[in-house]
Homo-oligomer: A and B are copies of this chain.
Amino acid sequence: MVKVKVGVNGYGVIGKRVADAVSLQRDMELVGISDVASDYRVQVAVKRGYPIYASMEEAAPEMRKAGIKIAGTLDDLLKKVDVIVDATPKGIGAKNKALYEGAGVKATFQGGEKHELVQASFVAQCNYKRALGKDFVRIVSCNTTGLCRVLGAVKQAHGIKRARAVLFRRATDPWESHKSGIINTAVPETHVPSHQGPDAQTVIPDLNIVTLAAKGPYNLSHLHFAMVELPKRVKAEAVIKTLRRTPRILLIRAADGLLGLNSVIELMRDLGRPRADMWEVALWEDIASIEGDELYLVYQVHNEAIVIPENIDAIRAMTELERDPMRSIRKTDEALGIAR
């Protein structure tokens, strides 16, 4: 089998997960990861047997001092791969693009980068085909991915007249909760619409949507409230049926004791998910309801994990390893262990 050679630049929250996910795909080979850090995170990459590259030459001595065997620099890694997953901090990806272009390597960027940087902003189940053969694709952010999966499915099956969503975001990620975060408060975004609404339109251009957002003092996930005006009346059961057959949406029930963000993540821990990751959107089936022509949905977006399968599918689309969206999604999900 032809395997696409993949590198990951930036081994943080997204990069480390993408690296693991790539190495689980039968049609991909993880050539190596690249970073500038030498702390416990990169040390685990060493333990996993991933070849380590230095994203900047200046970082190499420090990394070697920490006992990390360096296989080369990012330039060396780029010579060996077909696709690089750029999971560097916001803004760095834009600077890296010229590097990738020079090396003739395709790249996925993450949601921190701008839509204008790339040829397509991507959510697999919404616009896989737009990324076919492209060189530069942006995986939209966690919140935008959640919006696109849920509202994209509703729109396709039932239409959407207008969608409003309020996002209650986690303040920070677990790995940096010791140094950043907020306690005992909630902080609203100072701009309406928050950026996620317009960002969703980079994936679904004719989605009529507005988003408002705030962050709260927790680090487990985001919580979304979507209020969706439908063009005609349907039953809540019909929408649930639509969502049930949509990939990467997990229908959950408060009646099963899944009452908060914490319960859902605890379920992921109990299921043996790596890092307690939830790649799906978890949507409360028993909260979902319709009043008149308006649909109400409440769902949870695990910000650390939701974009991981999207990166994998983007690689398949860009390299045309697979031209059919649903076949790629199925391959990715089977390799990760996402049950329908």
Contact = CB atoms under 8 A, between A and B. Distances in A.
A185 B219 CA distance: 8
A15 B214 CA distance: 32
Contacts of A212: 166, 225, 227, 296, 298
A5 interface: no
A260 B216 CA distance: 10
Interface residues on A, range: 35 or more
Contacts of A284: 188, 190
Contacts of A225: 166, 188, 212, 214
B217 A217 contact: yes
Interface string A286-317: 11010100101010000000000000000000
Given A185-B220, A262-B185, A291 B166 contact: no
Contacts of A291: 192-193, 210
Contacts of A168: 168, 186, 214, 216
A91 to B, nearest CB: 23
Contacts of A230: none
Interface in A213-240: 214, 216-220, 223, 225, 227
